[in-house]
Amino acid sequence: MKQRKIYSFGFCLFLSLIQSIDTTLCLAKLVPDQIRLAFAGDRGANIGWHSFGCPLSTSNPNPTPTVIYGFSKTNLNFTSINGNSSFYDTRNPLRISWFYHVQLPNLQPSTLYYYQIKQSTYVSSSDILSFQSSPIVGDQSRPINLITYGDFGVDGLVEDLVNGRHLFERALGALQKMLPMTDFFLHHGDICYADDSPEDLFLTYEEAFNYCQSMMTNITSSRFYMTTVGNHEINCTEIPKVDQLCSSVHQNQIPYSHRFHMPSEQSGGYLNSWYSFNYGFVHVISLSCESDFPNSPSGNLLDTTTQINWLKNDLSHVNRNVTPWLIVQCHRAWKGSVAKQDKAEHGVINCPSCKDAFESLLIQYNVDIYLAGHVHWYERICLNGVVNTTQYVNPNGPVYLINGAIGSPEGNDKLSQRSNESCFLTTDPGFGYLTINDRNHATFTYYRISDMAKLDQIDIIKNR
């Protein structure tokens, strides 16, 4: 009994010591950063962010993550629900990275909301930020505009030599110019390229991810930013020979799962791997081209059938009278030209197993557009694979756009073999801008970053 009392006393002393260390070392308040918006069902928003923990402390500096929000800056009278905190081993003994997310439910459609991450004892509040909520599902009263790209990451010294100085920052500047005319973003995987910096090569994995996400906060805190998994998220094997330097926590989508919160829960999907959402008269499906189908490039998180069964179910429940436009994003394509790097490293053309898993379903359910990245250029597949035109009138199957040229630190690809299905190809860094004008007409434009020139533009016309 006496021994138990001593233990209890010792434990209490330990706790107060930890508490006092926290207080001492957190004299200056921590700040929330990397703020990200994602859809959470037809009427919800998910807000995620990061902050460091107090130095040398394992305590959660913000144990009840909360966002307050409302219709004006001076009246933030609603409170978020479902606050969640998490961390993973970032191999930094001095400070833990904490990741938070909350939900804002039952938002009024097409409404400007102001929000603020509420302060805690050790973390200061955020600025008051704002976003526009989704239109009501089926609303066709105005066009929808989205920015699309894949393969976007932070430059280092070597990358500056490949791409010209600071392509990442220049691309952010270009996106910023388009922000007032943009409803949401689709990022088709390969987000930040943290695994190009596995350990202490200019930046560590975590430093690269944190810098990239912090620099993007202005975009991701004001527009819904919807991601899918690329090979750089699912594992850390990008650089042969030094990939053993990656931490085990940098495998199996672990950092990506902590940092992003896609609406898989609301759409019956899985993690950030596969999910769907509605925005006005558009239904968007986001797939994993990395895992969970036969012969997938990066193995399986679950199995080879769950994702495909989910896709069938999701496609079969889309009401095309309500959401006539059906868009799919996935990291990899199975059409298009062959890059020198792909030929040299893999000996395969694009992703044939993705084709086997998904293509017939996308054709069967008349998907309008398939957006991919992975190859570091912009390429447009011809109408029906053969017709060279910029007017895609009632195509047989999705319009295929490969759009991974915005700014990969690995540099843009060089052409090895042009596909006879390819009607436009450029390696100039740029991004896609998709306007869904009405139920029958969409316009896709590829903008070059350096001068915002429209390098390619097509109309997609569907007589429904």
E strand or H helix at 133: none
Residue nearest to Fe ion (CB): 374
Nearer to Fe ion, 190 or 292 (CB): 190
For residue 227, give the DSSP letter.
E
Nearer to Fe ion, 232 or 462 (CB): 232
Q: CB–CB of 282/436 below 8 Å?
A: yes
Backbone dihedral region for residue 144 (phi beyond 0: left; psi -120 to 50: alpha; all else: beta): beta
Could you tell me the smallest distance in angstroms from the CB atom of residue 89 to Fe ion?
A: 25
Stretch that binds Fe ion, among 130-138, 188-196, 218-226, 339-347 (CB under 5 A): 188-196
Task: Kindly report the length of the chain.
Answer: 464
**According to CB under 5 A, which one of 230, 269, 429, 430 is a site residue for Fe ion?**
230
* Residue count, binding to Fe ion (CB under 5 A): 4
Stretch that binds Fe ion, among 250-258, 307-315, 354-362, 370-378 (CB under 5 A): 370-378
Nearer to Fe ion, 62 or 350 (CB): 350
Give the integer Cα–Cα distance in Å for 30 and 404.
35
The gap between the terminal CA atoms of the chain, to the nearest Å, is 80
Stretch that binds Fe ion, among 37-45, 54-62, 123-131, 225-233 (CB under 5 A): 225-233
Token pair recorded at residue 413: 């690809």
**According to CB under 5 A, which one of 148, 204, 231, 272 is a site residue for Fe ion?**
231
Give the integer Cα–Cα distance in Å for 155 and 141.
41
For residue 122, give the DSSP letter.
S
**According to CB under 5 A, which one of 374, 380, 448, 462 is a site residue for Fe ion?**
374
Stretch that binds Fe ion, among 79-87, 240-248, 373-381, 384-392 (CB under 5 A): 373-381
Could you tell me the smallest distance in angstroms from the CB atom of residue 448 to Fe ion?
A: 21
**According to CB under 5 A, which one of 159, 190, 379, 410 is a site residue for Fe ion?**
190
Could you tell me the smallest distance in angstroms from the CB atom of residue 257 to Fe ion?
A: 18
Nearer to Fe ion, 290 or 456 (CB): 290
Backbone dihedral region for residue 244 (phi beyond 0: left; psi -120 to 50: alpha; all else: beta): alpha
Nearer to Fe ion, 98 or 378 (CB): 378
Token pair recorded at residue 95: 């400070």
Nearer to Fe ion, 232 or 283 (CB): 232
Could you tell me the smallest distance in angstroms from the CB atom of residue 331 to Fe ion?
A: 6
For residue 386, give the DSSP letter.
T
Nearer to Fe ion, 348 or 386 (CB): 348
Backbone dihedral region for residue 368 (phi beyond 0: left; psi -120 to 50: alpha; all else: beta): alpha
Could you tell me the smallest distance in angstroms from the CB atom of residue 190 to Fe ion?
A: 4
Which CA distances in Å does 326 have to 365, 371, 439?
A: 9, 11, 11
Taking only Cα atoms into account, the Rg of the chain, rounded to an integer number of angstroms, comes to 23
Stretch that binds Fe ion, among 24-32, 157-165, 186-194, 243-251 (CB under 5 A): 186-194
CA torsion through residues 351, 356, 357, 362, sign: positive
Nearer to Fe ion, 324 or 404 (CB): 404
Name which of 131, 154, 128 is nearest 32 in CA terms.
Answer: 128
Stretch that binds Fe ion, among 5-13, 217-225, 230-238, 375-383 (CB under 5 A): 230-238
Give the integer Cα–Cα distance in Å for 150 and 429.
11
Nearer to Fe ion, 153 or 230 (CB): 230
Which CA distances in Å does 339 have to 152, 189, 350?
A: 18, 18, 9
Could you tell me the smallest distance in angstroms from the CB atom of residue 231 to Fe ion?
A: 4
Could you tell me the smallest distance in angstroms from the CB atom of residue 443 to Fe ion?
A: 27
Nearer to Fe ion, 208 or 326 (CB): 208
Regarding 187 and contact with Fe ion (CB under 5 A), the answer is: no
What single-letter amino acid sits at 107?
A: L
433 beta partners: 147, 445
Q: CB–CB of 49/36 below 8 Å?
A: yes
Could you tell me the smallest distance in angstroms from the CB atom of residue 374 to Fe ion?
A: 4
Stretch that binds Fe ion, among 22-30, 100-108, 198-206, 223-231 (CB under 5 A): 223-231
Q: Which residues form the interface with Fe ion (CB under 5 A)?
A: 190, 230-231, 374
